[in-house]
Structure 1
Amino acid sequence: MKALSIGAVSRETGVKVPTIRFYEEIGLLPAPPRTESNRRTYGPADVRRLRFIRHARDLGFEVDAVRQLLALAAHPETPCASADELARAHLREIDEKIDRLVALREEVQAMIDGCEQETVRTCRVIEVLADHGGCLPGAR
């Protein structure tokens, strides 16, 4: 594989050019070599790394967790307990978000169900939004 431009790497990985530059800026992606005309050039290792980063980000891993996972991936002979713990912690965060979304859904559903759809004066949606005390217990 010959050296790729930033645009070619973007198309190859699905990572937008400004995001590639951002990843370089924060150290997730090493600064690439440059041509005589100062254009960035990337190789197969950069493509693999960007795909890794993109997949981790698509799965919702925060930048710091991605940084830690990249560091672990650089040492393939080490035990994977740290990677496993990062993934488990992320799964707990996902479960907490799901719980909050379920509670949010129940609250909005209750608001809709309580609305008689007559006038705004008697609208349950408007009433609940105006007074947080009208929310379901625990939905705050």
Structure 2
Amino acid sequence: MKLALIYAILALIATAANIGSQDLVVRNYSGPYSITLSIFVGTGVGLLLKYVLDKRYIFRFKARDVAHDGQTFFLYTVMGLATTVIFWGFEFAFQHIFQSDGMRYLGGVIGLAIGYVTKYHLDKRYVFRMEAA
């Protein structure tokens, strides 16, 4: 139960970083594809932060070297592709239906929540299975 709580807190932190990054992009750039750009930037920020938090606090991962960490990050990213589709699907759908930043962000939060639950199980089984302490 403690691990689930820690994971939820870390997911909230990564979600806030993702949505906050998106909001910064939209506030500072209103040109073509601003929403798409903001979602890509938020996804990148969230991915990097979540990887650092997960490997340290959830899976207690210690890479042997930079190459090993890079390989693990690559696998972590690959496992995140399906969950990213969930996240983006909700966010773009909410944008299309409601045409508002607030509702788009709500869709993103819902998609991220569903994605993070799925991602935990994928990471536990395929990414950090040998490295878990």
- TM-score when scaled to structure 2? 0.33
TM-score, with length taken from structure 1: 0.32
Tell me which structure has the larger Cα radius of gyration. 1
Highest relative contact order (Cα 8 Å, sep 6+), 1 or 2? 2
Please state which structure has a larger fraction of its residues in helix: 2
